[in-house]
Structure 1
Amino acid sequence: MRETRWLRRALLAGAAIITTTGAAGADELAALKAQLEALQARVNQIEAQPAVPAMPEGASWVTFTRGTEATAGWNTSRVGDAIPTDRGFTIAITPTADLPAPVHEVTVSGYVKGDVIYDFDQDLGNAFSYSIIDDTNQRQDHIRLHAQQSRFRIKSRSDTSIGQIRTLIEGDFFGGENGGNFRVRHAWGEWDITPNLTFGVGQYWRNFMSLITGIPTVDFNGPVGLIATSRNAQVRLTYHSGPMEVAVSIEDPTGDGDSGDLYEQPTVTGTLSHAPNASDNLPDLNARIQYDLPGGHQILASGMLRNFHTDGDLGGDNDSALGWAVQGAANINLGDIAVLSTSVMYGDGIGNYLFGAAYTNSSGKANGIGAYVDPTGHIATIAGLGVFAGLTFNVTEATSLNVGWGWTKMDKGDVSDAMSNVTSGSMNSEIMSVHGNVMWQPVREMRLGWEVIWAQRKYLQGHLDTTTNPFSAYHTKETADAVRAQFGAWFFF
């Protein structure tokens, strides 16, 4: 009887254990099923998203390529100064979607240039300086070697939702009192507001300047009769349509007392010096139109207006005078054998827009002069004419012959009046120059040039008359010439 009762209790306990275990397993199964359903929903969500394209083999979001073709269409060089587009390198940044054209490209290029210079008559500096040619110093030959024209350039191009944006930073080593320091040539930014309209700000070529005029030269300065101060801070608006380009700009005025063209004539015997009460109250206004004709011909016309101003609060009198200049230029392709380049510019108060319109002080430093303040406080402008003609003969694909003639002529009466009270220093009245050279570029990485330069300078020299009481000033008419031979080697990187 006891065994039967024990067996019954054991069976009941087992049944209870089995029932409890079954209930727990059901709960775990339900939880696992919920987890699987959540995981499946997440997989479905991921599969519904668009797939990220796989990078093609060998492709990269950032690429480095040889050459600067990406920014080659943006002309930043004057005649004979271009860097081969297969030199330098390009950094391209590509957007992360189907690898379309890069949205941002940066090009780096430049060259190392070494010069060997031999002056037969007097030392004329690292770049041929016309305004210090004279016949008063002892004539002597002089040799110099330098590498100050070596150049470094960074350009960029970015495609944005509001139009393409471009930048340029370029420098060389002509900075400092005697050169050798790095200086900024260009610091410029452009924005294509529309496909035909471009807005630019920074330091760039003067808008009055003709980039199409000139010949390749070994000398850095090149012929007279062309632009003098070629780069300026400015704001520019350019319209371009096919072969035509029209640009207007407001530019940094050059009449201030630091580096401008306005001088003060001494009330007693002395030297011309920058007018201490010069005041820049208006920017220079420049306008240019350029047209490319069929057959490789080009024509250009440009003009400028400038204001010379003195402020009585800075001393002296209040006065203003208008300066202006116009220019016409053309390149004529002579059957792909030679190119004829020519230009004429004329203006009153033209100053440092014209190469050769300069006054040289007693220390030998030359600066452009467009106007002066006479002893009565009146601003008088100085008129000037510049003419240039040059030929480039393409002998072979690697060799060219270049010859250029330049002429700067200042108004004799204006120059004489400006020097009437000056006892030292000199002012140019007429300069003529001739450049002849051979350029040879056997490979894209190197160019060699051999050049001969002749120049003649006519000028008025100030003197102090010690025979009078009180002492007075007078000037004499002088003529001097000079010859230079130069070799240059460019190594493009």
Structure 2
Amino acid sequence: MTYSNSRKTFPAASAVIALTAGLGAPAFAQTTDAQRIAELEARVAALEESGNEPLSFGLGPNTTLEFYGYFKTDFIYDFDYNLGNTTFGLVSLGVLNDDDERIVSRDGGFTGTVNQTRLGFRTTTQTALGELGTQVELDFYGADGAFSDGEAEPRLRHATATLGGFRVGKYWTTFMPLSSYPSTLDFQGVVGIPFARQEQLRYTHEFGNGFVGEVAIEDHNTGSEDPVFVAAMAYDTDPLLLRLSGITGSIDDETGDDENFYGVNVSTSAQLWQGATFDAAYTYGEGIASYLVFLGDDVDANGDLIEVESAYAGLTQEVGEKWTFRGIYGVRENKSGAVGDTERLRSVHLNAEYQLLENATLGVEYFNGEREEFGGDTYDTDRIQTSFQINF
């Protein structure tokens, strides 16, 4: 939907107004019926086409403002542990607090949330140096305990400016394989995925023939006082995406010394057959647990970097014009830890989405998660989630 200096009306009404005005104009009287019909058809087509555009405003001769986002409500039933608004509680299954009570209760239950609802805007300005863009985006996971049972409060997700190949501000970490990220109804996502939004200065360069390179200086995800360096190279074509990224920097080992951490990620997204997409990634490193979904400690009790390995694979199949089905498996393993610490996490997501309207979808998802401790104890849980989403 596009707004300019005049208010937009419904396409059908606009066509009637245009027809009425046109028939009364002297100039129209001198044209043929075929010319009048052709002009009116062109006006109606233009109005109908503009109805599918994002909501945008002209702020001047060189700047446009676009609003976007979606409303999303989820209804969830936990069969085992009561995870809450998201599956983030998976990492705390079986863990006791200082009062010897389980951090995540084992009574299951029903909950609903609108916290994933998202609002954002973008601006585009034509300048002598090229196109200057900005983006600000919010969701409602800002409250304490927002990922378990917290109320809806605004939270900043992105705030960036772009010019040419440069991006500055808060955005997805360059280490993250965003283009191969599988979709879940659950906000938390799949075990094994690099995930963070960081303040950064990034430069992206397209070499041609599908090759794209990126380099960035970023803030550390846990507040290290030293910068983080990230680089990535991708081969991006229509049927196949291959991407390799690396991250390095230093963090405090809590004994007063700095430890150099590193991580590598290789990811892919491929079109297998009609309507089918395969996404997968593998991540390995030392001291990078805080850059993975479900977070974790980067160093152990001895001040040594924790070695971590993770992977995920997902298959998406579109059926007709309305249905989309997905199956996604993720796993993550810490190579060292004390008895009772998390050694291994696993997740399975099976979901289906139905496009109810052009901008509205209904979805249902089954989740199974498992946490294994150093020492041998294992905990698992199941949940069903349904979602309704309206994009705008």
TM-score range, shorter chain: 0.7 to 0.9
How far apart in 1 are the matches of 2:91 and 2:183?
22
Q: Deviations over 1:47-95 (max 9, x none)?
A: xxxxxxxxxxxxx9746789xxxxxxxxxxxxxxxxxx94640113453
**Alignment counterpart, residue 226 of structure 2, candidates 259, 265, 282:** 282
Is residue 2:375 matched to residue 1:431? no
Cα gap change, 1:89 to 1:174, in 2 (>3 Å): same
Between the two proteins, what is the percent identity of the paired residues? 27
- Which residue in 2 is equivalent to 1:124? 83
1:371 corresponds to which letter in structure 2?
V
What secondary structure sits across from 1:371 in the alignment?
coil
- Which residue in 2 is equivalent to 1:396? 320
How far apart in 2 are the matches of 1:399 and 1:254?
37
**Alignment counterpart, residue 245 of structure 2, candidates 284, 302, 316:** 302
2:74 corresponds to which letter in structure 1?
D
- Which residue in 2 is equivalent to 1:446? 360
Q: Deviations over 1:279-328 (max 9, x none)?
A: x34211111112212x4211111000020136xxxxx8531111100000
Native 8 Å contact 2:4 2:57 kept in 1: no
- Which residue in 1 is equivalent to 2:337? 415
What secondary structure sits across from 1:112 in the alignment?
strand
Q: Deviations over 1:25-60 (max 9, x none)?
A: xxxxxxxxxxxxxxxxxxxxxxxxxxxxxxxxxxx9
Structure 1 residues without counterparts, runs of 5 or longer: 1-59, 67-84, 96-102, 193-197, 257-279, 311-315, 359-367, 420-425, 461-475
**Alignment counterpart, residue 113 of structure 1, candidates 60, 64, 72:** 72
Native 8 Å contact 2:221 2:291 kept in 1: no
How far apart in 2 are the matches of 1:428 and 1:452?
23
- Which residue in 2 is equivalent to 1:34? none
Residue 427 of structure 1, CA deviation? 2.5
**Alignment counterpart, residue 299 of structure 2, candidates 371, 377, 383:** 371
Q: What's the Cα RMSD here?
A: 2.2
- Which residue in 2 is equivalent to 1:488? 387
2:185 corresponds to which letter in structure 1?
V
Structure 2 residues without counterparts, runs of 5 or longer: 10-50, 97-101, 147-151
How far apart in 2 are the matches of 1:122 and 1:216?
23
Taking structure 2 as the reference length, the TM-score comes to: 0.80
2:321 corresponds to which letter in structure 1?
E
Residue 121 of structure 1, CA deviation? 0.3
Q: Deviations over 1:423-474 (max 9, x none)?
A: xxx52110111000101113222111100000111024xxxxxxxxxxxxxx
How far apart in 2 are the matches of 1:331 and 1:323?
27
1:370 corresponds to which letter in structure 2?
D
How far apart in 1 are the matches of 2:298 and 2:95?
25
- Which residue in 2 is equivalent to 1:167? 134
Aligned length: 335
What secondary structure sits across from 1:131 in the alignment?
helix
Residue 391 of structure 1, CA deviation? 0.2
How far apart in 1 are the matches of 2:130 and 2:142?
35
Cα gap change, 1:88 to 1:477, in 2 (>3 Å): same
Taking structure 1 as the reference length, the TM-score comes to: 0.64
Residue 372 of structure 1, CA deviation? 3.8
1:336 corresponds to which letter in structure 2?
Q
Native 8 Å contact 1:348 1:384 kept in 2: yes
Q: Deviations over 1:202-247 (max 9, x none)?
A: 100000001122322110011101024x211111111124422211
Native 8 Å contact 1:87 1:445 kept in 2: no
Cα gap change, 1:64 to 1:170, in 2 (>3 Å): farther
How far apart in 2 are the matches of 1:92 and 1:398?
34
Cα gap change, 1:400 to 1:143, in 2 (>3 Å): same
- Which residue in 2 is equivalent to 1:328? 266
